[in-house]
Amino acid sequence: MFDFITDEHEMIRDTARDFAQNVIAPIAAEIDESGDFPIETVKQMGQMGFMGIEAPEAYGGVEMDTIAYVLALVEISKACASHGVIMSVNNSLYGHGILTSGTEAQKQKYLTPVMSGEKIGAYSLTEPSSGSNPAEMKTTAILNDAGTHYVINGRKSWVTSGPVADYVVLFAMTNPELGHKGINAFIIDTDQPGFTRGKKEPKLGIRASATSELIFEDYLCPIENRIGDEGRGFKVAMSVLDTGRIGIAAQALGIAEAALDASVDYAKLRESGGKKIGQHQMIQQKLADMKTKVEASRLLIYQAALAKMQAKTTGARYSLEASMAKLFASETAMWVTTQAVQIHGGMGYSQEMPLERYFRDAKITEIYEGTSEVQRIVISRQLTGLR
């Protein structure tokens, strides 16, 4: 159907689908209930190349493109959204910043083991008092008198994979007077003094994806672990969020697809009034709207993926495409899962079926990597040029 989807793309999609349905899906309900981080299956994902799809082979990746990434991520998320976000953070939020702005030494030391799945990466921007506005962050990184280390102090919140991460891409304020221009990005080694993990967050959904606070108390970060030039951290963060939004859009699409498929199957099986519920016009309308929104989401995601691929040669931003895909796909996931629960009636509300899990997992896609409200601001500013 799409001439940009090659045989190689279809191969990675099919491989991801087989692994997701045969290995991940059977444990999805169990890890959702327990909240246990699925380290063994995550390592298997790394061995299969899913944790570093776009990274060059020299840095532990498989050197494919963004289309391959979203195709695989949709299949993983369709089986388990927790696995999906772990994969997304590893590839985009952690990997992209180091890959595009890091030094060769940083890539060799901190990218290779994470892209191959041997280690876990995380991304830390949000703070308790600064969510959608990074310029308000309180975490500081002050260069010591010797000029060899930054002394980092502060508290970060809602860090995906925070409880298990080996390395973290951290954003901290070096010069508060400069606002967002005073932000720097750093690679944090979590086994060093001055770093502690806060409480693991009890969450509504994606419960097997570990999330926590990170606390820094006089943490010494070598100057060679700064990503990019002094004061470039905000640009790194925004670039990373653009690619991260494509990943969350793909995660949302996977959740929506799973809910749609379950609803179609149920509509063909469940009977009411002497006929299949799929023969009732009200159910037909729901299914038609669900399918249309799912396919529209897919097209927006493909558009964003292609824009990102073109940006590698043109250097252009793809913020508009990424925000539109993330906004529409995430709201589609929430809407579709709501309709799916309704179609299933009482069984949709029961933990005996996965619909309630899809519903709970969908909500976060409207919040992280920028809320739906933030996406609308980004889209509007791109259209008008006004701030």
Which active-site residues does the annotation give?
369
In angstroms, what CA-CA distances link 282 with 111, 168, 258, 343?
51, 48, 21, 10
Q: With contact defined as beta carbons under 8 Å apart, do 16 and 318 qualify? A: no
**Other CB atoms closer than 10 Å to residue 4's CB: what's the count?**
11
Dihedral over Cα of 28, 30, 35, 36: its sign = negative
Q: Which two tokens stand for residue 128?
A: 């308790």
Angle subtended by helix axes 233-269 and 319-344, to nearest 10:
30
Q: With contact defined as beta carbons under 8 Å apart, do 201 and 364 qualify? A: no
In angstroms, what CA-CA distances link 336 with 23, 343, 347, 360?
25, 10, 16, 12
Q: Tell which phi-psi region holds residue 170, choosing left (phi > 0), alpha (psi between -120 and 50) or beta.
A: beta
Distance in angstroms between the alpha carbons of the first and the last residue of the chain: 39
- In degrees and rounded to multiples of 5, residue 32 shows phi and psi of -65, -40
User: Mind giving me the DSSP string for 179-193?
Assistant: GGGGEEEEEEETTST
Amino acid at 190: T
d(CA 294, CA 252): 10
Q: Which residues contact 154 (CB under 8 A, 6 or more apart)?
A: 127, 137, 138, 139, 140, 172, 215, 216
Q: Tell which phi-psi region holds residue 156, choosing left (phi > 0), alpha (psi between -120 and 50) or beta.
A: beta
Helix (H, G, I), strand (E, B) or coil at 143: strand
d(CA 271, CA 353): 18
